[in-house]
């Protein structure tokens, strides 16, 4: 059933009303932690508010949030290295063809992410998540339905709701597009005539219109059909001014990755670390202002001037001030109340800054940044060990609500585009309603992920270091290890191309060749031994001299 514009707007207004209490808090956090987003309750023209910027004396919180974002970008989703691998569902883990196919798809997906704007948008996601506790990124097909594209939703422009499992399944976004952008995004023959007319005017086509994008679960669909109007989630673009539907379609999965730092009670919105840092952030701003005043006073001190003194005091270097020594007993101009303890204020300021940086895990990521770019999971794990209990739930939410949805939906988009090799029959699941391809299982393989998750692969080197001394004296000490499985697993965990790994047929051919070579070598050795004994006669004579077994 086509969407009703009035009902859509009623749902949007209901979601916005539930979000309203958060706007003022987000505005306060933005001004302190993420100034680029400080247009939530104020000006909407996306220009810096100079009045507030002039009142900002300390940027510790903003720098700490950026360090947290940079640390996550560099150590969890590094652009220059593979940070994930794709595995088949659990029931296919022993199927070599399925493992190989999902691994090759993972390589293609990694290349598509690299060529897209993912890493730029992921950094924006990290910044918003640290500052406001909630961030949203839409996963789209690229221009011309090729590749991938990602779109960030600024905080305060979208409202959300979640289901009984706390997973976001409804989103309403308000934004502005120019008439030209609208005509590029949607077929002209489906647009209202007013927009088509405006697009014909070279000036009006640049005019921006207020739009609404609403996404939610479709409750009246026919599950036997797979067309756009029967997908599990519906999508409606609406022009509220004219109550006109610009586009209506659907998705097989929720197309926006909405992640929360930590959930705030029953609310769909997240709690941010910046909330813990806000008291100290306000205090550091005040202390920085006071210390600036104190330093300025020391450089340009207050001066006590006799009441009857004529002329002006010259504060310039080598300045000369003329006064009458007979007009007062304390006749000379002198400094007045300039004995403040700047050092105490500075110590207090440093204490507040350290508290802010600890909230944003700055000591953790600063320590990791001192490692070389190719630091192993063991080296990173040694640094994060004492912070694991604090950062682990944060990482778990990040992977569950942001990275896994990003990878799974990107996988589906690329599969629809035909970017992957033809899947083997083993990975196709056939049911009465049709054939399906299961989502891949995602394994995160960045150094931070392995350090936090204590992966079996990350611990393999520890096991080997313990067993190596025993193997030196007992060659059977490591016979229990299946090296034919460990090797490929290590390759996949490091994100190396699947083409580096021999296929099962190639492995069998190699084993057969080795067996044949060994048989040939044994035959050659036997022949050489017979020749050394003088041929067949020599062997017979040797046999006659050997003790005969009892009858």
What tens-digit pLDDT sequence spans the chain (551 residues)? 678 899 999 999 999 999 999 999 999 999 889 988 988 887 555 555 555 554 566 688 888 999 999 999 988 999 988 899 999 998 888 888 898 899 999 999 999 999 999 999 999 999 999 999 999 999 999 998 899 999 999 999 999 999 999 999 999 999 999 999 999 999 988 899 999 999 999 999 999 999 999 999 998 888 778 788 889 999 999 999 999 999 999 999 999 999 999 988 899 999 999 988 888 877 776 667 666 667 767 777 777 777 666 667 777 777 777 776 665 555 677 776 666 677 777 777 788 888 888 888 888 887 766 666 566 666 666 666 656 667 788 888 999 999 999 999 999 999 999 999 999 988 888 877 667 888 899 988 887 777 666 545 556 777 777 888 887 888 787 777 777 777 776 665 555 665 667 766 777 788 788 888 888 887 777 666 656 656 656 656 655 665 665 65
Tokens (6 digits) for 474: 């007992």
The Cα-based distances of 220 to 229, 237, 252 in angstroms read: 9, 19, 15
- Chain Cα centroid distance, residue 222: 35
Residue 115 within a domain? no
Instruction: Spell 94-117 as b/e; 16+ CB within 10 A means b.
Output: ebbbbbbbbbbbbbbbbebbeebe
Residue 380 within a domain? no
**Residue at token pair 């014909």:** 200
Tokens (6 digits) for 298: 């020391």
158: DSSP letter:
E
Beta partners for 158? 173
From CA 139, how far away is CA 148, in angstroms rounded? 7
- Chain Cα centroid distance, residue 387: 19
Residue 538 within a domain? yes
The Cα-based distances of 45 to 36, 232, 323, 486 in angstroms read: 12, 36, 57, 56
Residue 49 within a domain? no
Q: Are 294 and 340 in contact (CB under 8 A)?
A: yes
Name which of 55, 62, 544 is nearest 278 in CA terms. Answer: 62
Number of domains composing the chain:
2
Sorted by sequence, the CB contacts under 8 Å of residue 402 that are 6+ apart come out as 125, 129, 135, 137, 257, 259
Q: What is the largest distance, in Å, between two alpha-carbon atoms of the chain? A: 144
Residue 314 within a domain? yes
Residue 319 within a domain? yes
Asked whether the whole model's pTM tops 0.85, one would answer no
Residue 326 within a domain? yes
Predicted local distance difference test score (pLDDT) of residue 536? 59
Predicted local distance difference test score (pLDDT) of residue 169? 96
Q: Are 398 and 443 in contact (CB under 8 A)?
A: no
H-helix or E-strand containing 239?
Answer: strand 233-239
Tokens (6 digits) for 313: 């005091």
Residue 62 within a domain? no
Q: Are 211 and 177 in contact (CB under 8 A)?
A: yes
535-545 and 504-532 helices cross at what angle (nearest 10)? Answer: 80
273-299 and 342-359 helices cross at what angle (nearest 10)? Answer: 160
The Cα-based distances of 354 to 60, 280, 284, 357 in angstroms read: 9, 10, 11, 5
- Identify the domain boundary among 286, 311, 336: 336
Name which of 29, 62, 68 is nearest 361 in CA terms. Answer: 68
- Identify the domain boundary among 288, 315, 336: 336
From CA 417, how far away is CA 394, in angstroms rounded? 34
Which region holds residue 288: left if phi is over 0, alpha if psi is between -120 and 50, else beta? Answer: alpha
What domain range is 519 assigned to? 504-545
- Identify the domain boundary among 280, 314, 336: 336
């Amino acid at each position: 059933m086509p969407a009703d514009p009035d009902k859509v707007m009623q749902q949007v207004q209901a979601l916005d009303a539930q979000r309203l209490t958060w706007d003022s808090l987000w505005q306060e956090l933005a001004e302190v932690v993420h100034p680029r987003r400080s247009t939530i309750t104020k000006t909407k023209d996306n220009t810096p508010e100079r009045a507030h910027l002039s009142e900002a004396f300390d940027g510790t919180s903003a720098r700490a949030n950026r360090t947290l974002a940079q640390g996550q970008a560099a150590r969890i989703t590094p652009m220059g290295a593979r940070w994930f691998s794709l595995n088949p569902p659990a029931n296919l883990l022993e199927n070599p063809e399925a493992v190989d196919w999902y691994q090759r798809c993972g390589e293609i997906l990694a290349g598509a992410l690299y060529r897209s704007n993912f890493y730029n948008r992921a950094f924006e996601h990290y910044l918003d998540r640290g500052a406001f506790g909630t961030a949203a990124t839409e996963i789209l097909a690229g221009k011309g339905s090729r590749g991938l594209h990602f779109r960030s939703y600024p905080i305060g422009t979208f409202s959300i709701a979640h289901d009984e499992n706390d997973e976001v399944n409804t989103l309403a976004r308000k934004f502005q597009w120019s008439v030209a952008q609208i005509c590029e995004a949607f077929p002209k023959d489906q647009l209202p005539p007013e927009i088509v007319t405006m697009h014909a005017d070279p000036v009006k086509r640049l005019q921006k219109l207020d739009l609404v994008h609403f996404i939610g679960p479709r409750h009246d669909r026919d599950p036997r059909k797979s067309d756009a109007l029967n997908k599990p989630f519906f999508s409606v673009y609406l022009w509220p001014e004219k109550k006109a539907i610009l586009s209506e379609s659907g998705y097989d999965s929720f197309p926006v990755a909405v992640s929360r730092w930590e959930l705030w009670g029953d609310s769909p919105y997240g709690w941010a670390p910046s909330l813990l840092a806000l008291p100290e952030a306000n205090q550091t701003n005040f202390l920085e202002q006071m210390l600036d005043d104190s330093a300025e006073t020391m450089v340009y001190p207050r001066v006590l001037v006799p009441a009857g003194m004529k002329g002006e005091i010259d504060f310039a270097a080598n300045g000369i001030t003329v006064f009458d020594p007979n007009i007062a007993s304390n006749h000379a101009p002198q400094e007045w109340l300039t004995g403040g303890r700047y050092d105490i204020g500075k110590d207090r300021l440093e204490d507040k800054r350290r508290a802010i940086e600890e909230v944003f895990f700055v000591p953790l990521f600063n320590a990791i940044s001192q490692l070389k770019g190719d630091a192993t999971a063991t080296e990173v794990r040694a640094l994060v060990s004492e912070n694991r209990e604090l950062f682990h739930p944060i990482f778990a939410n990040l992977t569950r609500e942001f990275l896994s949805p990003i990878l799974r939906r990107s996988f589906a988009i690329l599969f629809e585009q035909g970017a992957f090799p033809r899947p083997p029959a083993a990975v196709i699941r056939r049911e009465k309603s049709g054939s399906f391809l299961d989502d891949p299982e995602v394994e995160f393989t960045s150094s931070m992920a392995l350090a936090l998750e204590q992966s079996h692969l990350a611990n393999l080197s520890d096991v080997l270091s313990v067993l190596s001394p025993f193997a030196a004296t007992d060659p059977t000490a490591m016979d229990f290890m299946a090296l034919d499985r460990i090797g490929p697993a290590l390759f996949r965990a490091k994100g190396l191309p699947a083409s580096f790994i021999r296929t099962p047929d190639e492995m069998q051919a190699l084993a057969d060749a080795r067996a044949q070579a060994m048989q040939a070598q044994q035959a050659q050795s036997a022949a050489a031994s017979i020749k050394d004994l003088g041929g067949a006669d020599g062997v017979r004579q040797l046999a006659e001299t050997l003790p005969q077994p009892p009858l």
